[in-house]
Every structure is written in structure tokens, then in C-alpha cells.
Structure 1
Amino acid sequence: MAGHTQPINPLPGVSAAVLVAALILGTLFMVALRAEAGGGFGPADWSALRFTLLQATLSALLSAGLAIPVARALARRRFPGRRALIALLGAPFILPVIVAILGLLHVFGRAGWVSEALGILGLPPIQIYGLHGVVLAHVFFNLPLATRLILQGWQEIPAERFRLAAQLGCEGLAMFRLIELPMLRRILPGVLAVIFAICLTSFAVALTLGGGPRATTIELAIYQAFTYDFDLGRAALLSALQLVLTATAALAALRFSQGEGFGTGLNRAIRRWDGGTPVLDAFWIIAAAAFLLLPLASVTISGIAGLFEMPALVFRAAVISIFVAAASTVVLLLLALPMATAIATGRYGIVELGGLLGLAASPLVIGTGLFILIRPLANPTTLALPVTALVNAIMALPFALRILVPAARDTLERHGRLALSLNMNNWSFFLRVMLPRLRPQIGFSAGLTAALSMGDLGVIALFADAQIATLPLQIYRLMGAYQMQAAAGGALLLLILSMGVFWILDRGGRWHVEA
């Protein structure tokens, strides 16, 4: 609604944005102050920087490169289960990282299914630890994301373009060169930048599959500086470097995501006359589905037996994870709802900027600043769970705003003037109009936040002691103690909890629609 007077009080949203900005910028300021006391970069730090850039580059190139034929096959083919497969491509985004890693170990590890098959053929097993293991895990997480983004680019091409190309006799390479290649030139830079930014801040993957002097990322080096050396100055200096990298990658992702499209059409269903080779398309679709499903299947199969071998600490950690996820969800909604309504007025772009700050700072960097800030006042380990819940909420805030703002803007445009004519006050409009209209988006945002928080293995690794652990951290400890069967049981439990809480909250937001 463009009018000056609106039935929304922007002050709560502005206040929430100020709090978020103060938290992020304040912790970064503490990191910068502490970094001045550092002694500079050593050889290990420069090695971590090189490895971080190398693995992020390789992960982005492989994820996007493999996603092109998969997305093209999905765009050209119609088959039973296609919608379900496309929906499945969104699952790795909320899949707990530690669960996926355990599944990858079962499939591609030294004693995994693929290595056993290679052994039958007389070939050596796969070495999953190190650079190739980190890249493999990142491709597992980001191949679905890249496929969805590139597939969206294919679906945005107007049907009239393909119809005209067919009338002109364009097939095969000519069709690809005239229509599909220009789309890829527009879409791919943004896809590469987004995946590169994601891989820069990947901590759990490097912690479990990396390690060693030649396979350490910057985030892992920050963690090691805390846990092994307790060198806060070096950790802060590395955090400042991480901030520069993530901010640069985030800006590049936003910059490359913009571009001219193909224009609009008549919204007709796309029909493709360039069928190509069905066998080749089927190969890419089946290979991608198997790559995603086999690790999940392995976690399920091995986890069923492991459920009966889990120690009591796993169940205690599961309860802690549920409370942390619930706290993160509450904090997220308290911040996101007023910020989304303030952004919807169209006059407070600074609020949206405050919400997007989470994209530029990694959770480990924020955790570093909070540790430095809390340590002179209290024992940071006593605040491990509240800090973890808070940081998880801040990290989910940009995604929640992307979900909530369009619906809030539409609600304000449709019902704002009527509310003013009825003299509805701000609170009444928010409760009676805005919240009911945003219920599906609120449920989806809450489910996404809870699932991401449930599976997070980041800040808790900095703050937790031997007595405090979330379920992902406890699974990691079991893996470190070579209790792989119990770890598999814990991974299955985590998978059930994460997917379950997402389904409950998401469906809870849509129950009135589906009834």
C-alpha cells in the first residue's frame, strides 16, 4: 500500500531490525577489536584460506555443471513421480548435515557400498576423507539447489519461444544455442555465486570429512583455535577474514542473480519438440535420484538396528535439541513477523537490509564475537543453549523474510484501505487480518527454522562442554569414538525429528486450506 497512512505500526519491525543489526555488527566489532591482538597469519592459516577457496570453487563448478543435464532432462520429460522428484530436490536444504555425512560414509566410505562393489572388481576402495570427501558432500547438498534454480530458468522461457524455434526447424544444437544457452548465461553466474557462498561457511562437512593441515577450512581453523589452542586473537583474525569472504560472495550472489529474462508469454504450457535422446535424459534423472536417495536409505537401514544401541546421552541430547529448536523458532517469529510487516509498507528498506545481514556473517563468526563478549561477564558454557538458539534464529531470518514479505505486502495492498476506513487500530489489524492471511507462510517459516536448528552443528561446538550437547553434536562425538552403530541410530532419530517438526509446523500453517 503506497499511501502515507497505513494500518501497520512499523516501530516494532524497525526495533527488531535494530536489535538484529546490533547483534551482528556488535559481535563483528568485538571480533575486529580482538583481531588487532593477533600475531598475523601463519602458514597453516594461509593453507586454510587456499583450501577454503579451492573446495568452494570445485563444489560450485561440479554442482552447477552436473545440475545442467539433470535440469534439462526434467524440463524436457514428463513421467509419473516427476512432481515428487522435484519436491525431493528441496529435502537436502533441511536435511541435518551430520545425517547426510553419515549416509555418504555408508555409501562412499572405505567400508561403504560403493567400495565393496569396487572390491569385488579388484579395485581399491574410495578415500572419502580430505578434499574429495568435502567436495562430494557439498555436491550432495548443492546439486539439488542448483537443479531447482536452473530448472526454474528453463520453465521461465515462454512456450512461444519453443514453438517458434520448432516452426523454424531448430533442433538439437541449434535449439540449445539460440534459446537454452542464453538462459544459462543469465542463470549460471548467480547459481555459482550462491553455492560458492554456501560452501565458504560450511563447518560440519569440513569438521567430519576434512581436517588435517591440508584439508582445513577457515571455519574449521576458527574452531581449532578455540578448542585446541584457545587463541582468541587468532580466532578473531580468522573470523574477520571469513567475514570478508562471505560478504564478498553474498554481494556477488545478489549481483549475478539480477538480469534480463526472456520477457513474458501467454502462460501456455511448455511443449518441447526437441525430444533429444530419452535414454540419456533418463540416465541423468535416475543417477541424480540415486545419488540423493541412497545415502538416506543407508541411514534408515543402518539406523533401525542402531536405535537399540544408543546410550542414554543420545535421548538427553534429543530433548535438548527439541528445546533449542523451539526457542529458535519463537525468537525467529518474534523478529520476522514485525520486520516483514514493516517491509511490506514499502517505506522501510533499511529493515530488510538489517534482516539480510545474516547472509554476510557466518554463524561461527557471530559465535566468536558472542564468546568474546560474554567471557569477561560469565562462563560462556552456561549460556551455550540460549546462544545457539539465538544464532540459529538469526541465520534463518533472511529465508523467513523471503517467505513472509510477499504475502504481507499482498495482504496490506488488498485490505489496508478497508481497515483504515473501518478505523481498525494497528494491533487489531495485525491480529485479525495479517496473522490469518500469513498462516501458511508462518507455518512454513517456523518449520524451516525448527528443522535447520534441529540439525545445526555450529555454534554449539564452540560453547558446549562434556555435559551439554545437542543431538548433532552427540552424534559427532559417537562417530569420533567409533560407535558407528549408535551414531547411525542417533542419525535416524535426528532425521525423524527434523523432518517431523518441519512437516507438523508446515502442515499446521495450512490446515485451514486443506480441510
Structure 2
Amino acid sequence: MTVVAGAACLGVFVLFVGLAIVALLSLTGGASDDALFDAYIWRVTRFTLLQATLSTLLSVLFAIPVARALARRPQFPGRIWLLRLMALPLGLPVLVGALGLIEIWGRQGFLNSGLRWLGLAQPVSIYGLFGILLAHVFFNMPLAARLFLAGLERIPAEYWRSAANLGMPSRALFRFIEWPVLRGLLPGAAGLVFMLCATSFTLVLTLGGGPAASTIEVAIYQALRFDFDPPRAIALSALQIAMTGLLLLLLRHLATEPEEGMTGGRTVRRFDGASRIARLSDGTWITLAFLFLGAPLVAVLISGLEADLLKLARDPAVHRALLTSAAIALASALASVTMAAVMIRAAATATAPRHATSLSHGFAGAIGASTSLILLVPPVVLGAGWFLLLRPFGDVARFAPAIVVAINALMALPFVHRTLAPAMATHAARSERLTASLGIRGFDRLRWIDFPALRKPLLMALSFAMALSLGDLGAVALFGSQDMVTLPWLLYSRMGSYRTADAAGLALFLGLLCLIFTILGTANDSRPEGRKA
């Protein structure tokens, strides 16, 4: 039954994406022969690979020491708020985050003002490759760090006790205990960050500084929005999927999944990190992460407080946008988490030793690939395809809420899958045999065995998905109307009409909503996973 449900979810997923692509292709009947062979396309392809690779390396290299520092310091003051701060960039609308970065790193920002005060005439330019890398690290490093931290916190307490008894130094602890866990998480985290950077659109337009810093995603948008050449857009999408898919396949084969250690459920206590050097190193990384992430958000806060917040709070348009955003975010998050949990469980059941066949392994591989490759299908392609499909049925605005919810749920699926899959694998390794021997199945297993152990990653995944949907602008930009206005769309509209004070206030509202979601999703993060109350 679980496999059937997973197959149904996979079928809905493929059908939703496939119908949109077929609708665009059928408009003109096929791709033009020269769609991929002009100098501009090859130039944007090279730049896409360059900026995505550099952004991924910087994000992961920054995330690993930050995650290790947070794992070794489970009780320092403010830890829970730092974790919530690290979840905020994921859900912030890209425009809001970019404005915050410009306030700090821009020509008139805090950093350049300090440099001019020191007598340095050449300011730091946030536009171009540097700005794109900076913004990508701001948005993606916290995601990678939280994924790594979740894996480190699942290390059984017995490992640390044995390491302490053997007197293992810090280098040996990293090599034999932490690195096997990080190595198993690295391909998924790096692949997810790479896809986010390769498909970046709004950030490239905002901080790219010109045609020299364009990506494939920008070329797809231009093909649909300005040239209205769907075959070229589909061909570029296929190039993007093939290019990134090959890299993900390589990462998957290079990495090995860590073995899940058995545990007696003892309280996790780490005995390393007591030296002065370790404390200094951890404090430095935690402080750097706090300043790097906090400064742009504080800039957004200051700009927002300068707006007339009371006027915005009484604005009926803001009320409608808030309710619409909350409803779409909740519906898409529940759909994404449910779909991911069913598909993960179905893949695990299909590849169990008693069921394993070449067909079942192919099914599990299809599930894993689908949750990754969806990020490579631009929302503008999905939206345009479904717009064409629904146009014969009358006013497309009637279907807009359902389509926006579906697109947001699919776009959140990779994040939800990366959050739930390791936790569900660990839980299955520790409880599968026992529950099978006791004959606990169905709702009883879900209520008494699965949900108590998976409550924390489920809440985290739900908060991620809600924050992502809340900050979405791509799908709403195609289907938005007077009857369906979200907070990001209202923010974009106010910015377009030069009502910058209102836009700053709405950005603050969005940030506060994302903070509420992250508080709900990190309610138990003050205690690492495995600690007893």
C-alpha cells in the first residue's frame, strides 16, 4: 500500500510537470535547430556553471565549521535564536534579502561608508559576480549548515562515550565520527545548493549588473517574456536539467551513505571542545555566521521601522494579501510534507531486502531524482504551460490558487525531502525490526512510534515549506490578479510604484512572518536531537 501511494505521488508529480512542458511545445510544434548554438547561450552557460560552482563551494565550506561549532556548543546563550536566524534567509523573498545586502555591502552601504572613513577611495562593488556569490552564500549557507547540524546531532551518544574513553583528539573525532556523517550528507546538500544557484533568477537580475552576468534561467525568462519563443525556452530548460543532472549523478556515485549506529537512547553528551583553541574557534565561526546573516536582516528591520506601520496594518489590501499568503503557504506546505513523507517511505519499502529488485531500485531512484530535478524546471515554465492548458476552460484566475499551491508545493519538495529523508532513514534503522517483531502497523505505528521520533524534522520541514511559499513571487507573478494578491506581490507592486516606505514596511511584515514560522519549526532546537527532557 505504501509503494502504491508513493507511485501515485510520483505519477502526479510527473503528470503536472509533463503536461505543462507539452503545452508549451505544442504551441509551435518543436524546438528550433539553432536554439542552443549561438554565442550568447554558451556564454551564459559558462557563467551559470562558474557562479553556481563557486557559490556551492563557499556555502558548504562556510557551513561545515558553523555546523560543527553549533553541535559542540549545545547550550550557549542565544543558540536557539541563532538557529532561527539561520532559517530566516530560506523563507525571505529574494528581493528583501537583496535589499538588506545592498544596505550593508552597497556603494552607500555600511561597509563602504566605513572604508571611506578609513580613507579608502575604492569602494566594494556588490554588483557582478561578487554580489551574486555573496547573496547566494547568504541564502544557502544557513540551509547547508542546518542540514549538517541535524546529521551531527543524530550521532549516537555511545560514539562520544567511546571516543572519550579512548582519548581521541579533535582531529581523530572529525575523521572517524563527524566526517562519515558529513560525507553522507554532503552530496545532497551540495547538489541542492548548486541547483538553487544554477537556477537563480531574481538575484542575478538584481545584483548581476548587466548582460555579462546572465544565467540560463535569465535566458529562459527572456525567451518566454520578450521573444515568446517556447521551443527555445524548453530547449534551454533541457540544457539546464541535463547539465545539473550530470553533476548530481556524479555526486551521488562519489559519496557513500553513512551507516546508522544503534543507540540505547542515552542523553547525548559531547566531551570534546573543552580546550581554549576549540572554544575560540567555535566562538569565531558562530560570531561570523551571526554577523553575516544578522546585519542585512537588521538593515531590513531598520528600514521597515521607518515606514508607517500603523497605516499598513490598517490597510485592507494588506489584510487580504496576508490571508491569501497564509492560506497558500499552509496548503502548499502540508501537500509538500505529505508527498515527501509518502515518497520517502515508499522508496525505503521498495528497496527493503525482502522486496529489492531492479525495478524497485529504479522506482526509488526515480523518486530521488524527481525531488531534485524539480528545482531545474523554472516556475515560469510550469506557470506558462498551465496557463495555456487552462485557457480553454474560461477565466484562468479561477484556477490560480490551486495552480500556485501546486507549484509552491513542488518547489518546496527538495528542501522537505532533504530535511526528512536522513531523519526517516535513521528512525527506520533504529525501530524497523522492533516494530515488525511486535506487529505494530498502520495508524498505531504512526501515532506511537513514528510521529514522536519524527516530530522535530516534520515541524522543521513544514516551517521551511511555509516560509518558501510565503516568499514566492514567480508563480504569483503569472497568475496574480486583483482577487489573488499575496504579500510578495503587493511588495513588488509598491516597489514598482516607487512607494519605497510601504515596501520596506511590507518587507518587515514578511520577515516577521518568516520568523514566526521558524520559531514553530525550531521549537525543540534548544536541545539537540537525542537529548532527553
- TM-score bucket of the superposed structures, by smaller chain: 0.7 to 0.9
Matches within 5 A, 1:406-485: 406=425, 409=428, 414-415=434-435, 442-464=458-480, 469-485=485-501
Moved more, 107-116 or 21-30: 21-30
- Equivalent in the alignment of 2:420: 403
Preserved contact between residue 328 and residue 453 of structure 1 (Cα < 8 Å): yes
Q: Verify: 1:358 aligned to 2:358, yes or no.
A: no
Task: Give distance in 2, aligned partners of 1:253 and 1:207.
Answer: 29
Matches within 5 A, 1:144-183: 144-148=142-146, 159=160
How many Å apart are 1:50 and its aligned residue? 2.0
Task: Give distance in 1, aligned partners of 2:456 and 2:68.
Answer: 31
What is the percent sequence identity of the aligned residues? 34
How many Å apart are 1:82 and its aligned residue? 6.6
Q: Show CA shifts across 1:412-433 (max 9, x none).
A: 755566567xxx8x6x658866
How many Å apart are 1:39 and its aligned residue? 3.7
Q: Show CA shifts across 1:195-229 (max 9, x none).
A: 32331122332233226211221112212222222
Task: Give distance in 1, aligned partners of 2:328 and 2:182.
Answer: 42
Task: Give distance in 1, aligned partners of 2:178 and 2:283.
Answer: 21
How many residue pairs were aligned? 493
Task: Give distance in 2, aligned partners of 1:26 and 1:436.
Answer: 35
Counterpart residue identity of residue 96, structure 2: V
Q: 100, 115, 119: which one pairs with 2:116?
A: 119
Q: 82, 90, 95: which one pairs with 1:93?
A: 90
Preserved contact between residue 381 and residue 465 of structure 1 (Cα < 8 Å): yes
Preserved contact between residue 59 and residue 196 of structure 1 (Cα < 8 Å): yes
- Equivalent in the alignment of 2:241: 243
Task: Give distance in 2, aligned partners of 1:79 and 1:260.
Answer: 27
Query: For 1:229, what is the secondary structure of its paired residue?
Result: coil
Preserved contact between residue 153 and residue 183 of structure 1 (Cα < 8 Å): no
Task: Give distance in 1, aligned partners of 2:91 and 2:178.
Answer: 31
Q: Show CA shifts across 1:17-55 (max 9, x none).
A: 221233234545666776523642333322321221121
Query: For 2:211, what is the secondary structure of its paired residue?
Result: coil
How many Å apart are 1:315 and its aligned residue? 4.5
Counterpart residue identity of residue 294, structure 1: A
Q: 32, 35, 43: which one pairs with 1:37?
A: 32
Q: Structure 1: where are the runs of 5+ without partners?
A: 1-7, 509-513
Task: Give distance in 2, aligned partners of 1:36 and 1:199.
Answer: 26
- Equivalent in the alignment of 2:214: 216
Q: 375, 378, 385: which one pairs with 1:372?
A: 385
- Equivalent in the alignment of 1:53: 49
Task: Give distance in 2, aligned partners of 1:13 and 1:73.
Answer: 37
Task: Give distance in 2, aligned partners of 1:13 and 1:458.
Answer: 28
Task: Give distance in 2, aligned partners of 1:154 and 1:18.
Answer: 34
Task: Give distance in 2, aligned partners of 1:153 and 1:504.
Answer: 20
Q: Relative to 1, partners in 2 of residues 1:398 and 1:151: Cα closer, same or farther, differing over 3 Å?
A: closer
Task: Give distance in 2, aligned partners of 1:440 and 1:184.
Answer: 19
Q: Structure 2: where are the runs of 5+ without partners?
A: 525-531
Counterpart residue identity of residue 365, structure 1: P
Query: For 1:360, what is the secondary structure of its paired residue?
Result: helix
Q: Show CA shifts across 1:357-405 (max 9, x none).
A: 0311326536415523541550766644432210111222344445274
Preserved contact between residue 363 and residue 458 of structure 1 (Cα < 8 Å): no
Q: Verify: 1:302 aligned to 2:303, yes or no.
A: yes
- Equivalent in the alignment of 1:11: 4
Task: Give distance in 1, aligned partners of 2:136 and 2:32.
Answer: 34
Counterpart residue identity of residue 292, structure 1: L
Compute the RMSD of aligned alpha carbons: 4.4
Q: Relative to 1, partners in 2 of residues 1:198 and 1:381: Cα closer, same or farther, differing over 3 Å?
A: same
How many Å apart are 1:454 and its aligned residue? 0.7
Query: For 1:270, what is the secondary structure of its paired residue?
Result: coil
Preserved contact between residue 195 and residue 375 of structure 2 (Cα < 8 Å): no
Query: For 1:271, what is the secondary structure of its paired residue?
Result: coil
How many Å apart are 1:411 and its aligned residue? 7.2
Task: Give distance in 1, aligned partners of 2:240 and 2:56.
Answer: 18
Q: What is the TM-score of this pair, normalised by structure 2?
A: 0.75
How many Å apart are 1:450 and its aligned residue? 1.6
Preserved contact between residue 151 and residue 182 of structure 2 (Cα < 8 Å): no
Task: Give distance in 2, aligned partners of 1:77 and 1:354.
Answer: 36
Preserved contact between residue 94 and residue 202 of structure 2 (Cα < 8 Å): yes
Q: Verify: 1:105 aligned to 2:102, yes or no.
A: yes
Query: For 2:212, what is the secondary structure of its paired residue?
Result: coil
Preserved contact between residue 44 and residue 213 of structure 1 (Cα < 8 Å): no
Q: Show CA shifts across 1:285-327 (max 9, x none).
A: 3222111111111212221232356576555433332232133
Q: 318, 324, 329: which one pairs with 1:325?
A: 329
- Equivalent in the alignment of 2:290: 289
